Amino acid sequence: MRPEQTKEIKHLAKGRVHFDYPLGQKGTFKAGGKVEALCEVDSMDSLRNLVEFSQGQSISCLVLGGASNVLVKDEGLDAVVLFLTGEFENIQRVDEPPAGLWVGAGVSLFDLLLTCRNMGLGGLEFLAGIPGKVGGAVRGNAGAFGGQIGENIVAVEFVTETGDLVVMDREGLEFGYRSLNIPDGAIITRALLAVNEDDSEKVRERIVQYLIEKKDRQPLDLPSLGSVFKNPPGDYAGRMIEAVGLKGTSIGGAMISPKHANFIVNTGRAKAADFLALVKLAKEKVKEEFGITLELEIKVLG
């Protein structure tokens, strides 16, 4: 960015900006490069102003929550990354129709479930153990144990890449496998989630049970980005990768988990390039054996 652009972004972000930010090291894989700037955005006005300015200046601008399914290449990323805080971390209960919880995009899924437990609200327990924030979960239609967050969404609020604020209700939303049909470049700011009255202790028990099952199945003891590949129709990416003999395979500091073959873990000093080399290897072997091209569930930036 030019000096005048840097100055304006710093002004619009109210000084809460970090340049040459090591996003890769802050993400859940603990590897990867820097981003040009990370802005902590705590209000709708700041968000819309930053988005509008970036669009006008042809500066790449995107939102990342917990960086739990995002890999920045080692070379880094020339972009302004927005981290939603402040008013985007609010949870508001709505009792009149359509009832539910308006949940800010910056709320972690952990905090969302904690709030549901405390309020005696059920229906979202299947999200237990999924890292990241609500915004990313909605955008990627996150799910587990047979449930998807899209099934609970009543409405989604987002800011377009030109800074316009839009609310889209259920009738206008189309959810697919790890996808939602909002416009390219749109930034989700909050979502209205349907929940149901339930006993707090029963909600807690279901959350704990899901966490136990996830710990048994997944390598939660090492840094990872979660599931690397989408499951192809009628099959599981992990099963296919294991079937071609890649479980436990290492390149550099990255390893295809011996516990779950659809996870690539950082064994200590992995680089993003190590991760991507394993991705390439798995895709090639599965294509050769099954004739299927695996699609990434994670995002690779840079």
Closest to 226 in 3D by CA, of 178, 291, 269, 174: 178
151 is catalytic: no
Token pair of 94 as six digits? 């709505």
Which contiguous run of DSSP H or E holds residue 298? none
**Which tokens hold the place of 92?**
């508001």
Active site residue 250: no
Which structure tokens are listed for 160?
Answer: 């377009």
**How far is Cα of residue 104 from the mean position of the Cα atoms in its chain?**
14
Helices (H), the chain: 3-12, 23-26, 44-56, 109-119, 134-139, 200-217, 237-243, 272-290
Q: What is the C-alpha to C-alpha distance for residues 237 and 233, in angstroms, rounded to an integer?
A: 10
**DSSP 8-state assignment for residue 126:** G
From the list 178, 190, 206, 257, the catalytic residue is 178
The answer to whether 227 is a known catalytic residue is yes
Could you list the active site residues?
178, 227, 297
